[in-house]
Chain A
């Protein structure tokens, strides 16, 4: 036993030490610190003789921290940032990207053959113009005519400089890529740059970055863009230069969610529908499942097992697949339901706002009742016969037996399942996405939200569709969902505690 423990801990420690090694090398000090602390704590727990409960709890707690607490925490953090299209990275990268896209090749300028050369002062360029003349230049000295060794019409070497081969260039490619040689003493004529180490072009820049004043200036119009704390360079007229960068924006996303009419109105209606959808889904699946469980619990019925298996079938298929198939079957003009079952009727199951809501609930009932049926069957069989007999002897009618004895006893076991089922349906993304995609969308609405969209599918649309993703706003929505589900769950668990007194 001790050997197993040693080997297991040894493996854990070896991985941890290796991880530390890698993390420290890549300057991830915070994560490295966390790994170190956790590893020491784990070792202490398993070698100490005092921490017996912790030995059982530690793995679970660790996984909880990594896969739940961290994820929720990180999402919450994103909810307070402007992360999204145009605010995708940090400021240094935004400046780099702006500068590189602002670099314009001088119109109709020639392409020069280039050999990258090196001297004690650093890198330089030995270029050959289209006429075959050789020029030499370095970052601080503009191109000058030189006599060079020519090979196939290209200058390949010059006195006082060492020529770099392509593999030498590759070893220092960042340096070579950033190398800028002034074309002439007039800087407005542009600089030579080489992208591939063998040819160079003349570029001028549309933007100039002043890192002292922290501003971008448009060289053509003279317009100045400054960092005003909005995560982008903004001109006085309010024009933004994108890409910008990620910053924390405090409660802005929440303020937008509740303040902007175009977001608030759909948010409210979607929230209401989500609650209705989750409640009705739980209620309908519960009652149908319970009803069938009672029916198939009737001991004198023949072939009960067969029926039970058939009942469970919808539960055996992956839910997203079933939803997809239902979406095909409910198609207005080509679906099985309308074509075959209803003899060619054109009922807009998924395209009429109200009918689509009904269809979503119906398909969810079809998907969800077997689960309730299974649980209810188990719970029913766990109710001792003598309780029921005693009630019957006391003169209770079957309905009274059910309502006053069986149902309360059932609810003791099923209440937590109903609550978790509510939470599940609250975020039942698969069903909505596969069945209706949130549609039908109201053509008159200004935002991309449909009649059957629930909160989580709306979040998906905000974060992952269209060309302007808004991860910040989407994360703010998920926090709202989290709070809603948490509050509803806590309240219902409080209520169900009363049921436990029954036992």
Chain B
């Protein structure tokens, strides 16, 4: 009796299993039969909406389906690096140009052919798309910092740093807990003629560290003076800087286009000014270039190349991306089109001086020490000795 019940049970299980299996397999088979090529594209969650129409238009044009997958910006790079080797990664991934060093060293991105289009892109965008002489990134947007000015408090742009300080309070964000934010301070550093690396026709030369040159020491001394005067403060974090500008407490805010929206929403009449140089040379901010990268392990490389170079790299598409995303386009012609927007035009003007953030892995060594040294100088450490030690530490870290 007991035996036969078990047997019955086994039979029932087998039936259920087979039924379930049939159900699953038939559903699967349907998808496999379809002949369309599908490109999987990982997109920064904040920008996925801007891309939807463009992707749809490409589908209509070519019958290649574009599957946009929204990913949190902080996770895209690591997830992509880990999944690409399994062959299950996306065909295309949205990323920033400064990821290139790491991604190329990991062998997960493939070069794309942009050489004929060099003149169509903004110089900084093309430069940023290039790593060790090869182009890996299809640039679509360029971002850099500039000075936001509250026009109610200060109606006119100021030409020099001291004039600006005299006209109103200036805020720039730091990382807090004794750390400066070197990204935001970089324009002042270049104003003294101290870029991180020297550069040649292939882009940055990471063996030529310029950080510790005479200009760097002059910048360190200037920084110490600003720290002592309380103009730049390591404890003034991004949130505090934002709050002080929004409350009308500060008239100038050195920040990027990502913060313009919140200022406009707060009812502030914002103007975008060039960064006034405290030194002898132009204050060059870092440019961050956003774009799309091709997975080296993609099985749809022809479709992906077509989508990237022949579609996303065209003026109409970059115009459309600008309309939906309001980021300065990487193509010259589209950038001109975007000039109708005063804010974007303002940032572009400042960005004419911008230099791409170095993408080489050696830059990791710089970031590691940079903010600490600047923070220490702002908080009263000896500027020259600290800056020299920074240069020595970075040099040792790159070599070792």
Interface residues of A (CB under 8 A from B): 2, 5-7, 9-11, 13-15, 17-18, 21, 43, 47, 49, 85-86, 88-90, 93-94, 96-98, 100-101, 103-105, 111, 166-167, 169-171, 173-174, 176-177, 194-198, 201, 242-243, 327-328, 331-335, 348, 350-351, 436-437, 439-441, 443-444, 446, 448, 464, 466-468
Contacts and interface: CB of A to CB of B under 8 A. Distances in A.
Interface stretch (B2-10, B190-198, B325-333): B2-10
Given A443-B389, A466-B367, 9 more contacts: A5-B9, A18-B20, A85-B106, A86-B106, A88-B85, A97-B110, A98-B107, A243-B104, A328-B239
Contacts of A327: 176-177
A88 B106 contact: yes
B87 to A, nearest CB: 9
B134 A101 contact: yes
A439 B177 contact: yes
B393 interface: yes
B123 interface: no
A17 to B, nearest CB: 5
Interface string B218-254: 0000000000000001011101100000000000000
A173 B37 contact: yes
A459 to B, nearest CB: 15
Contacts, number: 191
Contacts of A166: 62
Contacts of A201: 113, 115
B132 interface: yes
A10 B134 contact: no
Nearest to B5: A2
B76 interface: no
B301 to A, nearest CB: 4
B7 to A, nearest CB: 10
Nearest to B113: A195
B251 to A, nearest CB: 19
A174 B303 CA distance: 10
Contacts of A176: 302
A356 B256 CA distance: 32
Given A89-B107, A93-B296, A195-B113, A446 B361 contact: no
A225 to B, nearest CB: 15
B302 A103 contact: no
A197 B63 contact: no
B314 interface: no
Given A47-B10, A171-B35, A173-B37, A467 B364 contact: yes
A335 B306 CA distance: 53
Given A85-B106, A171-B35, A468-B361, A436 B177 contact: yes
A328 B105 CA distance: 38
Give chain B's interface residue range (CB within 8 Å of chain A).
Answer: 35 or more
B367 A104 contact: no
Contacts of B239: 328
B25 A100 contact: no
Interface string B280-300: 000000000000000011011
Contact of A10 (B13, B132, B376): B13
Contacts of B132: 101
Nearest to B106: A88
Contacts of A96: 107, 296
Given A174-B301, A177-B301, A437-B177, A97 B115 contact: no
B5 A446 contact: no
Most B C-beta atoms less than 10 A away, residue of A101, A201, A348: A101
Most B C-beta atoms less than 10 A away, residue of A43, A167, A170, A439: A170
A334 B16 contact: no
A351 B381 CA distance: 14
A242 B105 contact: yes
Nearest to A107: B115
Contacts of A332: 178, 235
B64 interface: yes
B154 interface: no
Contacts of A335: 235
A97 B106 CA distance: 9
A443 B386 contact: yes
A174 B37 CA distance: 12
B200 to A, nearest CB: 16
A333 B5 contact: no
Nearest to A170: B37
Nearest to A242: B105
A459 B368 CA distance: 16
Q: Which 6 A-B pairs have the closest CB atoms?
A: A97-B107, A467-B364, A243-B107, A89-B85, A14-B20, A10-B16
B134 A333 contact: no
B310 interface: yes
Contacts of A468: 361, 364
Contacts of A90: 85
Contacts of B105: 85-86, 242-243
Contacts of A18: 20-21, 24
Contacts of A328: 239
B12 interface: yes
Interface string B63-83: 110000000000000100110
Contacts of A10: 12-13, 16-17, 20
Interface in B290-348: 296-297, 299-303, 305-306, 309-310
B85 A93 contact: yes
Nearest to B7: A47
Contact of A14 (B2, B17, B113): B17
B372 interface: yes
B368 A448 contact: yes
Contacts of B101: 467
Nearest to B81: A88
B111 interface: yes
B35 A111 contact: no
A443 B111 contact: no
14 contacts: A10-B12, A11-B20, A15-B20, A21-B24, A85-B361, A86-B106, A98-B107, A170-B37, A201-B113, A331-B177, A351-B379, A441-B372, A446-B393, A467-B101
A17 B17 CA distance: 7
Contacts of B185: none
Contacts of B379: 351
B112 interface: yes
B353 interface: no
A460 to B, nearest CB: 12
B21 A17 contact: yes
B349 interface: no
Contacts of B397: 446
B133 interface: yes
Given A197-B306, A242-B105, A103 B111 contact: yes
A439 B175 CA distance: 12
A199 to B, nearest CB: 8
Nearest to B299: A174
B9 A14 contact: no
Contacts of B93: none
A243 B106 contact: yes
A468 B116 CA distance: 33
Contacts of B10: 47
B211 to A, nearest CB: 15
A43 B12 CA distance: 13
Contact of B12 (A6, A88, A167): A6
A100 B236 CA distance: 46
B361 A467 contact: yes
A476 B352 CA distance: 47
